Amino acid sequence: MKTKLSLASCLMLTFLTTCQSITPIPTKSTATSIPISNDIVVAFIIGASDGMDDMSACLAANDIYRFVLYQDGRLIKFDGFQYVETRIGQAEIDNFLSDIEATGFSSLSGEGDQYIENAPPPSFIDTWGGSVTVNETTITVTPGQSDYLVEPVTKTLEIMENYRPANIQPYAPESVSLWVFLEENISLGLANPTPEPLVLKWSVDEINLNDLLTDLTTSKPKVITGNTLSFVMRQVKHIPVVRRVEQNRQNYLVMVCPNFA
């Protein structure tokens, strides 16, 4: 009997929405799962919901940066459909930070003052959790309380969401997580691919998908870099993405999500 996996994911349309897996696989913590490195100036992460599997979280841009600005001006953000990137100059960084400073964000300690006074306890209904970082200040948002954030946090999130720098282009990561399944072995639910062309045709000479098949018992992705990654990105055009691929008269479902250093 063939193993059937169930994966349901919705690509986020805004910063402030969440999605749930139809069939949860492992339970995930709602805490931020990646560290904030010293060269990051501004960052925003939404944590995956309890029960959301790694594939669903990645496609929904959860547990990874949705917005990250580095000290060297590199900017990567999730626009609700794909990750895009650009590089901005120091003057623009200063203006961006000045806009955030005007919200009063830096005055917060993150020890409860990120919520309005007398905020109700977490409800865990239709709200998100995660973190917002600006310079040395990181504010953690508890799942179920994001509806009660104070204005300095909500205004900061609005500034990030509405920021439209010049020369934006699809993000080209240095590595990605790659899941590969025989189409007959997995049901993607809401994440079923509907791209054009409907089916990509990849030569074994370029990439051998049989060698990259995901173990159905662990669903652990392969991490790809270099020439293999270059080939994949030329084909899929953007990330995160699920594509249907034909190779040697066999259909595969290929899922690609970015990794951040």
In this predicted structure, what is the pLDDT of residue 20?
A: 34
Residue 17 has pLDDT above 50, yes or no: no
Number of residues written out for the chain: 261
* C-alpha dist (Å) from residue 171 to 78, 109, 111, 114, 188: 9, 33, 34, 31, 24
Average pLDDT on 46-72 reads: 90
pLDDT 10s digits, 210-223? 999 999 999 999 99
| CA-CA-CA-CA dihedral for 169, 14, 18, 137, to nearest 10 | 80
Whether residue 17 contacts residue 128, with contact meaning beta carbons closer than 8 Å, is answered with yes
Burial class (CB in 10 A: 0-12, 13-18, 19+), 8: buried
Residue 198 has pLDDT above 90, yes or no: no
Beta bridge partner(s), residue 178: 222, 256
Which residue type, as a one-letter code, is found at position 162? Answer: N
> Is the pLDDT higher at 193 or at 24?
193
pLDDT band at residue 12 using 50, 70 and 90 as cut-offs: very low
Say if pTM beats, i.e. exceeds, 0.95. Answer: no
Buried b / exposed e over 74-110, threshold 16 CB at 10 Å, is ebbbbbeebbbbbebeeeebeebbeebbebebeebee
pLDDT 10s digits, 126-184? 678 999 999 989 999 998 889 899 999 999 999 999 999 999 999 999 999 999 999 88
Residue 51: alpha-carbon gap to chain centroid: 17
Average pLDDT, the chain: 83
SS3 173: coil
**The pair of three-digit structure tokens given for residue 84, joined into one six-digit string:** 């895009």
Residue 188 has pLDDT above 80, yes or no: no
Strand residues in the chain grouped as ranges (E): 5-6, 40-46, 65-70, 74-78, 83-87, 130-134, 137-141, 169-170, 176-182, 186-187, 200-201, 222-224, 241-247, 250-258
**Angstrom distance (rounded) from CA 61 to CA 80:** 9
pLDDT 10s digits, 102-128? 999 999 999 999 999 988 888 767 678
**Angstrom distance (rounded) from CA 153 to CA 139:** 8
